[in-house]
Every structure is written in C-alpha cells, then in structure tokens.
Amino acid sequence: MTRIAACQLAPSIADLPANAELSAGAARAAIADGADVVVLPELVTSGYVFADAEEARSVAVRADHGVFAAWAAACTARQGAVVVGGFCEAGDDGLLYNSAALVDASGVRAVYRKAHLWDTEKRVFTPGSAAPPVVETVHGRIGVVVCYDLEFPEWTRTVALNGADLLVVPTNWPLEERPAGERPGEQQVAMSTARLNHLAIACADRTGSERGVEWTEGSCVVSADGWIVDAVGAGAGTAWADLDLEASRDKHLAGAAHLWDDRRPELYERVTAPRA
C-alpha cells in the first residue's frame, strides 16, 4: 500500500520564504504521519494571483533553489518518500513557467511545465511543450500534470498510456458556481479520468482567499476505479488514502473487456481544427 497525502494549503502571494516554510512544513508533517507521496498545490512557493509578470518574476526560482532541498530533506524521514508541488519557474531562457517539481530524498527527479495555461496565466507564463513526466519510484510510476491540464483528455490519456500508476495534480481551482449538493466539476473530471484510464489520481488544491479570488478547496484522492477515497472540503487540511498503486496496471474490466485492448487507435484522428 502507498499512503498518499494531498495537502490543501494557503500560500502567501509573492512571499517565497513564507511559502518555502509552509510547503516544507506540510511535507514534513505529512511524512511524519506516514505519507509516502505528498502532493502540494500549484504555485505553492509563490501564490497565484500575481499583480503582473514582474511580481511573478520576483518569486521565480530554478530547480536548484533551496526550497526543493527543503522538500528533499523532508523526504529523508521516510524511505522512498516523494513530494510533488508547484512553483513559479525561472527558465534558463529568461521565461516564466507554471511548473511542478517531483522531489525525493535524492533531490529533484523531474520538472514539468504546465502545457495548458488558464485565462490570465497567459499574461505571465509561457506554456510548456514537453509531455508530462512519468517517474519511476519505489511506489510505482508517478505522472505529473498541473491544474487545467487535467481537463484535456488527450493529455491525461497520454500519461496513462505512458504507464502512470498515479497521476498527481498540483492545482489552484478558482471557485465556480455549482448546483447545490454537487461535487466540484473538477472532482467529477478527476473521477471520470481515473475510471477511463484505471489510474489513481491525487489533486492538491488551494485554500485561503487571495486578492479577491476564492478557491474550490477540492483536494482529493481518487482510486483507480474512479471513486473519491478522501476529500478535504473547506479550509486547510489533507486528503489521505492508502492505495495499492500496482492495481492501476490491471486494465481488465469485466470478462473480455479491457481498457487498453479495446481502444481503436487506428481510428483515432489527431483533430487539429474543430469545426466552426
């Protein structure tokens, strides 16, 4: 079993030292409670609602920054522990990326740059152009996407076909209206994506109002069968799940039905231009 913790946190806008301590502290606490995989929100080191690109640049870091060393140090407390969280990346090319780092006790294992930028993020960030990483760990293969990426089935399908057992999603879901009694739409998507790919999914969302933006507070862990095992709800907190990630590799459904074998890739077009 792999113990997964999705931490719902409230970073402070443009305050890197405070967010470094918040994120490393959350990782240390979750690992102390037995977490094997800790997921932290999107842009947890920087906050989200930047006044402009210059403010984002003021808290942009590279993968060799001390905050990741602090996450790696947290991982040393438990054999095989992994921390994944979002950060504002200062690229070697001088551009800013909305990125996520996967870290273990050895340091940064992978950096992923969000490929699907949401709304005003386009004013600050350059979209990534590399496929999501699928990283071998002692717990299984961990794929990483960021927030709005989850809403593009082409993207999540690729992660699953590339062998991920667990998809981790650092996210900042801005609050949307929804019918009374309904789960957030983003959680519906996570559940469906898990079911359609037989892939466990852990989403770490934000809490804490920031410059007038409220958040969905939708942190959750979803089993490969598509059911929410735990969700945080309002406020700071952690969604916990003990999952057999090996189970994600069995794509059999009932009888002769099989999620992979039943695909018809020879029929799937890469549609580039939607019909008007």
Block residue for tokens 């039905």: 257
How many other CB atoms are found less than 10 A from the CB of residue 212? 6
Provide, rounded to whole angstroms, the least separation between the CB of residue 25 and its own copies: 32
**Cβ–Cβ under 8 Å, residues 127 and 119:** no
Q: Which is nearer to its own copies, 79 or 265 (CB)?
A: 265
CA distances from 78 to 35, 73, 92, 142, 187 (A): 8, 10, 33, 18, 29
Q: Which is nearer to its own copies, 18 or 175 (CB)?
A: 175
Provide, rounded to whole angstroms, the least separation between the CB of residue 20 and its own copies: 30
**Cβ–Cβ under 8 Å, residues 102 and 131:** no
Provide, rounded to whole angstroms, the least separation between the CB of residue 163 and its own copies: 4
Provide, rounded to whole angstroms, the least separation between the CB of residue 78 and its own copies: 28
Residue 110 Cα to chain centre, angstroms: 13
Integer-rounded Cα radius of gyration of the chain: 18
Which residues sit at the interface with its own copies, rule CB under 8 A?
115-120, 122, 127, 129, 131, 148, 151-155, 157-158, 160-163, 174, 176, 178-179, 182, 185, 188-189, 191-193, 195-196, 225-227, 251, 253-257, 259-260, 262-272, 274-276
Q: Which is nearer to its own copies, 85 or 184 (CB)?
A: 184
Provide, rounded to whole angstroms, the least separation between the CB of residue 185 and its own copies: 5
Block residue for tokens 């992994």: 82
Q: Which is nearer to its own copies, 155 or 240 (CB)?
A: 155
Provide, rounded to whole angstroms, the least separation between the CB of residue 157 and its own copies: 6
Q: Which is nearer to its own copies, 85 or 140 (CB)?
A: 140
* 150 CB-side CA count, 13 A: 28
Q: Which is nearer to its own copies, 180 or 234 (CB)?
A: 180
Contacting residues for 133 by C-beta, under 8 A, at least 6 apart? 102, 110, 111, 112, 143, 144
Closest C-alpha to 222, from 256, 198, 258, 205: 198
